[in-house]
Every structure is written in structure tokens, then in C-alpha cells.
Amino acid sequence: MVYVIIGVLQRSLAFLILPFVTRVLSPSDYGRVSVVVTTLSLVGVILGASLEVPLFRALARGGTQAERIFRWSRLYLLWLLPSLCIGVATVLWLLCLRGADGFGIWAVELASAGLTASLTFYALPVVRATDRLGLYAGLALTWMFSLVAGKLLFLGWLLPGPAGWVTSDLLSGAVAWISVLLLVQPPAISKATSDPEGSPASPWSFAVMCLPLVPHRLAFWGLTSLSRPALLLVASVKDVGLFSFAANVAAVSMTLLAELNRSVLLEYSREQFPAPSSATRQIAQTQLMAALLIPTMVAIGVTIFGQAIVGSAYYPALRLIALLLVGQVFYGVYLVPMNYLVQSAGLFRWSSFASVFGAAWILVSVLVAGSLDSLPLVALGNSGGYLVMAGGAICLVRLAKLRVNWALLLPPATIALPMTLAFAAATTSLLMFPRLDRWLPLVLALCALVVVIAMGLTTYGLRGVRQIMPRRARTK
């Protein structure tokens, strides 16, 4: 639970500072920053993210392969990748000094992306897989503090505008890299477990093993980020800024669902087929119920507090959030079959298909709807991509002939039906924003309903935690 809370805080920072950002950046400036940041996040997606799952899985299972994979990952993610990014950023900065306009903020953000990769794809997976909670909290909170302090310092005072944003990112990236270098040491790895068949024996074979995960990560980037640069091709920078704001708020649901999922990866990675066991059955049911509960809570929160937390220039974006939250429900569904496919069965080569089709759907829908000058259609197309992805993940599990009893994973109807109705009503009330006069009683009633359901889910989840944690302790 502590891992989930810290992870949520870490990944929610962009949302937490939005009230400040919407008052110091115009939608056009926010759109420009969003395109730069999301485009350069490709650096980590292509060059670093594919190591995260094999590294976590190896350390969780132990054996001599875990020691080798740790050593190779450390060399690459702590030294080689940051050096490459800083080198290319230096070339871009020199071009900027010679009069090439526009390269400056791209250079600074590229250097930041390379430095931050050492924390995101190396340090945090290592300390989480080895269950070093204190170190995990120290690394995450240090990075969070530097990021927030940098945004407040540069955007609010020293360097307002897009340049201040990327400069604060560089500062937090440098703090993250130094923290990783000083604090993350080789973990104690149990060698009692025999290496599984096909374990990498060289850095090259490890790279070949990670390669099938690149399309999956790339496609997932397409699902979460491609809409911003793609929309810029057919819409104004201001529209890109409004849509980016809405997408960042809706992504709070994804953050919470992803962190919940990360907290239970150990159980999925130890699962045997036929599935589910009693442990993953309760976990999967909780995840599916959270897929409805969390977007509902986000919709209610934005409906009630939207006018207070954002600048008036961003009001048109709030209605888009309701449409984007539909996609977050399907994202929560997608996580369960993908955990059985990748974590339990280790079928990395299958991992990209569902997300590739989802990303392709989003790209086409963004270009078509954007050319029609309709941001609501863009948002609906984005949610449609997550629906495609969830359906594709379930089909992949069936095609791989994994023995999963889906009926056992479905949540109780007595909880699922009220949650579905609450989600529908909450998103409808958000679509009516800011005309909330007749919707406010409904929203307050929904708040009470969600609180009751959340308490029930918490009780249900804690009961599962009490069953799981002794089992996890015995397997260490």
C-alpha cells in the first residue's frame, strides 16, 4: 500500500501543479510544452523502458541470471543512455547558439529525459523488486520535491514560459541521477533458484530478449501521448493545449490504476496456470472494480472543484475530461489479461499487439476528428483506442491458450452495477460543466455512493492484502 501511495504521488505531480500552471501558462504555451515533453518521452520509451519488466521479473525470481541482468541494466541506464542524451542535447544547443531557432527547449528536455530514465526504468524497479521501501520512498520523494520546487521557482519567478518548464525538468533530472548514483547499490540476490530456460547469457542476448517489449512500450506511448503531436498537424496550438490539459487530468485515473497494478506484479509473476489462484483472483477482481471507481471519483472531483482549481481559459477542456475518462475504464480492464500474458506466462513477444492496434486507432481518429475541428470527437476517438486495446489483450490470452477462468475474475454484481451507474451519472454531470445548478444534488449523492463503495472495496482489498503478505514473506 505504501508503494501505491508513493507511486501515485510521483505520477500525479503534473496534475497537482495544474492549478498553478493554468495561471502562468496560456493554452498555447501549454500546448507547445506538451508537444515537446511528450515527443521527447519517446527517448525513454524506445531506449530504456523495455528493460524495466525483465529487470523487475529477474530480481523477483532470483538466480544467477538476476545478477547479470542487474549489472547490464545499471551500466546502460545509469551511464550509457544519459551520456548519449546529453551528447545529442549539446549538439542541439550549439545549433541553437548558431541561430537555429527552436532547438533550445528541445535540447534541455532531451538531456532531462536521459537523466530521469536512470530513476524511472532502473532505480525504482530495482528497489521495488527487492522490497526496499525506505530507499524507494527516499528516491521518489527527493525527485518529487525537486520537480515541484523547480516548477514553482522557474515558472513563477526566474524564467516564465516554456523555457522555465524544461529548465525545471533538467534540474529534477539531475537530482534524480545523482540520487540513483549515490544510493542504489547492488541488491542481495538469492542464487538458490535455477535460471529459467532461455535466460540471457550476454548483453546482446539480453537486448534481444527486451526487443519485443519496445513495440509494446512504443504503442503504449502512442495511446497516452501520440494524440498531442498528431493533433498539432491538424489543429491550432491552443487546441493542443486544451486537449493536453484534459488528457493530463484524465490520466490521474491511469496513474492510480497503474500504481495499483505495479503493487501486485509480484503475485502475477509467481502465478501458475491454470489461473486464477486465490491470490490473483482477489487481486484481479479488485483491479476491475477500481477501473470503474477511480474514474468516477475523478469525474466527481473535477465537477465540484473545476472552477476553483483552473484558470478560466481552460474551462472548455473540462468537458473533454468526461469523454476521456471512458477510456480509462477500459485501460483498467486491459491490465488484468496483460498481467497474465506477460508477468505470469512471460510471453513478451505477444505484449505489443493490443497496444499497437489501440495506438493506430487513436492516430487515425485524432487526425480525422482534428481535421473536423472537433475536440470532443478527438476525445471519443482516444477512448476508443483503449477499448480496442482491452479487447485485444483478452483475445491474445485466448490465442496463447493460457488457461484463465474469466468467470472467476468478474466482480460481484452487487458492487459492479451501482459503480457503473455512478460512473455514467458522474461523467454526465461533468459534460454539463459549468451549468451545475440542477446537477449539484446528483453529484453530492454520487459522492456519498462512491464513499460507501470505496469503503467496501477497501475492506475487500485489505482482506486480500492480509492473505497475500504472509505468502509474500514466506517466498523471500
Q: What is the pLDDT of residues 22-57, one digit of tens each?
A: 888 999 999 999 999 999 999 999 999 989 888 988
Residue 19: is the preceding peptide bond cis (ω within 30°)? no
Pairwise CA distance, residues 94 & 103, whole Å? 9
pLDDT value for 327: 95
> Which three three-digit cell numbers place residue 365?
481518429
pLDDT value for 411: 82
3-state helix, strand, coil in the chain (%, to 5): 80, 0, 15
Pairwise CA distance, residues 308 & 322, whole Å? 18
Give the CA radius of gyration of the chain. 22
pLDDT value for 178: 97
Residue 368: burial class (beta carbons within 10 Å; 0-12, 13-18, 19+): middle
Cα 142–Cα 148–Cα 150 angle in degrees, nearest 5: 95
Confidence band of 335 (pLDDT split at 50, 70, 90)? very high
Pairwise CA distance, residues 328 & 76, whole Å? 33
pLDDT value for 459: 57
Amino acid at 177: W
Res 469 pLDDT > 60: no
Pairwise CA distance, residues 387 & 395, whole Å? 13
> Which three three-digit cell numbers place residue 229?
503531436
**In terms of pLDDT, which residue wins out, 455 or 8?**
8
Tens digits of per-residue pLDDT, 112-134?
Answer: 999 999 999 999 999 988 888 88
pLDDT value for 59: 86
State the DSSP string of 58-98: HHHH-SHHHHHHHHHHHHIIIIIHHHHHHHHHHHHHHHHHT
Confidence band of 356 (pLDDT split at 50, 70, 90)? confident
Pairwise CA distance, residues 324 & 386, whole Å? 10
Tens digits of per-residue pLDDT, 132-184?
Answer: 888 989 999 999 999 999 999 998 888 888 999 999 999 999 999 999 999 99
Could you tell me which residues are beta bridge partners of residue 454? none
Pairwise CA distance, residues 130 & 306, whole Å? 40
Strands, DSSP E only, in 276-329?
none
Pairwise CA distance, residues 174 & 131, whole Å? 25
Instruction: Report percent pLDDT > 90 for the chain.
Output: 39
CA 468 to chain centre: 25
> With contact defined as beta carbons under 8 Å apart, do 225 and 38 qualify?
yes
User: Is 0.85 surpassed by the pTM of this model?
Assistant: no
Contacts of 75 (CB under 8 A, 6+ apart): none
In this prediction, residues 384-406 reach a mean pLDDT of: 91
Closest CA to 357 of 384, 375, 339: 384
Strands, DSSP E only, in 208-257?
none
> Which three three-digit cell numbers place residue 260?
495499483
Confidence band of 227 (pLDDT split at 50, 70, 90)? confident
Res 375 pLDDT > 90: yes
In this prediction, residues 235-246 reach a mean pLDDT of: 93
pLDDT value for 97: 82
- H or E element at residue 24: helix 18-24
pLDDT value for 418: 80
- The greatest distance separating any two alpha carbons of the chain, rounded to the nearest whole angstrom, comes to 66
Closest CA to 236 of 336, 299, 316: 316
Around Cβ 107, how many Cβ atoms within 10 Å?
Answer: 23
pLDDT value for 439: 60
In this prediction, residues 303-319 reach a mean pLDDT of: 81
Res 406 pLDDT > 70: yes
Q: What is the mean pLDDT of the chain?
A: 84
CA 470 to chain centre: 29
Residue 276: is the preceding peptide bond cis (ω within 30°)? yes
pLDDT value for 448: 56
pLDDT value for 311: 77
pLDDT value for 432: 78
> With contact defined as beta carbons under 8 Å apart, do 236 and 228 qualify?
no
**In terms of pLDDT, which residue wins out, 10 or 275?**
275
pLDDT value for 214: 86
pLDDT value for 130: 84
> With contact defined as beta carbons under 8 Å apart, do 244 and 228 qualify?
yes
Phi, psi (rounded to 5 degrees) for 98: -90, 10
Lowest mean pLDDT among 140-154, 353-367, 381-395, 440-454: 440-454
> With contact defined as beta carbons under 8 Å apart, do 290 and 257 qualify?
yes
Distances (CA, A) of 217 to 52, 126, 379, 419: 11, 19, 21, 31
Confidence band of 196 (pLDDT split at 50, 70, 90)? low
DSSP state of 314: G
